[in-house]
Amino acid sequence: MSGGGLLQYTAAIDLLRAREPNPVLITGGAGFIGTNLADRLASAGQPVLLFDNLIRAGVEKNLLWLTGKHGNLIEFRRGDTRDIASVKPLVQRASAVFHFAAQVAVTDSLTDPTKDFEVNARGTLNVLEAIRTSSNQPPLVFTSTNKVYGDLPHVDVRDTGRRYEPVDAALAANGVSEAMPLRFHSPYGCSKGTADQYVLDYARCYGLRTAVFRMSCIYGPHQFGTEDQGWVAHFLIRALSDESITLYGDGKQVRDLLFVEDLVDAFLLARKHIDSISAQAFNIGGGPRNSISLIELLELLRDINGERPSVRFDGWRTGDQRYYVSDTGKFRDATGWSPRVGVHAGVTCLREWLLAASESPVRLPAVSRRASR
């Protein structure tokens, strides 16, 4: 482990050892990211309070796994952030809040933009109001999205055969920084962007301790990916099940991948440094070293599984970016964090988890053992 990696790991462990008796509240806590954060916290003896409406496929499995592993360190309340009366008493008890509850798919936001707004914008405002009016005002870390930058039409890219790369050398070397102008595109981009700005402004106007993570593509265990969200897991599930994968656009669009354990490290460091990073947004992802195009991911799956998944193509989708890679330098400078898990190791780990989950008593459908050779 490098010196920087050891430093961030030690800082995260020190934070866990300094756990508080009051629970950490995670909204959307039974989801993929919430489950991984809750597991890390509870493994260190920190009580965790999960708030989730359980409407997303697979989250019941995550909740069963967490309670089975950690017992009474995991407390669950079913509810929705759109109901502020349900949120307020939970915030009052919390030592910190991680707000992950959201409508997460661009496609769903186009189908029902009102619901998208209510969940993402109004739900976040309710959480902020619950914190503002509480007696303890716990710190908040909010997960936003790179979609707040829109489809980046002004970023010139060149086709290198299997991927797009920025023409600008600095952008290619470092990725997209927080200096990129906001340009909300799609109802999802608008609702998450609205929430993003409210979280920052409540720190400025009311003195709350808040930070925003504008996240790229997160992947790892406990992710039940779909075509609309969690595409790395979705690709793996389809490949392991001998099903074809649809690529929207030409498959050369590039994203940076961040393994979920690295993201959890970042969450813990954000909580540790919340006083110094408050009222700031940070681009969080794997960075240029962990960037990959959709076509390149298919080739990686071929290397791991022994054959390339079958593919069909469809048209570009609203707001899709040909190139988005996070410049994580701002958060690195503030906390010492950097990703430690590479794409090959992370995707292999997710594959192994999916195969193991398909054989567990709580079965994961549509994953076969065919590719385990």
| Partner residues linked to 142 by β-bridges | 99, 212
Return the residue matching tokens 């656009």.
Answer: 249
What HEC string does the chain produce? CCHHHHHHHHHHHHHHHCCCCCCEEEECCCCHHHHHHHHHHHHCCCCEEEEECCCCCCHHHHHHHHHHHHHHHEEEEECCCCCHHHHHHHHHHCCEEEECCCCCCHHHHHHCHHHHHHHHHHHHHHHHHHHHCCCCCCCEEEEEEHHHHCCCCCCCEEECCCCEEECCHHHHHHCECCCCCCCCCCHHHHHHHHHHHHHHHHHHHHCCCEEEEEECEEECCCCCCCCCCCHHHHHHHHHHCCCCEEEECCCCCEEEEEEHHHHHHHHHHHHHCHHHHCCEEEEECCCHHHEEEHHHHHHHHHHHHCCCCCEEEECCCCCCCCEECECCHHHHHHHCCCCCCCHHHHHHHHHHHHHHHHCCCCCCCCCCCHHHC
Q: What tokens were used for 236?
A: 């793996």
For residue 15, the model assigns a pLDDT of 52
Please state, in angstroms and rounded to a whole number, the distance separating the CA atoms of residues 33 and 39.
10
pLDDT average per 10 residues of sequence, the chain (373 residues) = 51 54 96 97 98 92 97 98 98 98 93 97 98 98 96 94 97 97 95 98 98 97 80 92 91 97 98 98 98 96 88 87 97 98 97 84 42 33
What's the CATH code of the domain at 16?
3.40.50.720
> What global pTM score does this model have?
0.91
Which residue range forms the structural domain that includes residue 217?
3-372
CB 24 within 8 A of CB 70: no
> Tens digits of per-residue pLDDT, 228-284?
678 899 999 999 998 999 999 999 999 999 999 999 999 999 999 999 999 999 999
Question: Is the separation of the CB atoms in 28 and 52 below 8 Å?
Answer: yes
Pick the catalytic residue: 188, 198, 202, 219? 188
CA distance 56 to 43: 25
- Compute, in degrees rounded to 10, the torsion defined by CA atoms 143, 216, 195, 177: 110
Q: What pLDDT does 290 receive?
A: 98
92 token code pair = 């009052």
Q: 362-365: which pairs have CB atoms within 8 A and are 24 or more residues apart?
A: 362/61, 362/64, 362/65, 364/58, 364/61, 364/224
How, if at all, do strands 210-215 and 254-259 pair?
A: unpaired
Instruction: Supply the pLDDT for residue 309.
Output: 85
Residue 366, pLDDT score: 45
* Token output for 134: 């509480």
* Count of the separate structural domains present in the chain: 1
Tokens 């079958």 sit on residue: 310
Burial zone of 32 (CB within 10 Å; 0-12 exposed, 13-18 middle, 19+ buried): buried
> Catalytic residue at 323?
no
CA distances (Å), origin 18, targets 73, 79, 141: 16, 29, 18
- List beta partners, residue 74: 48
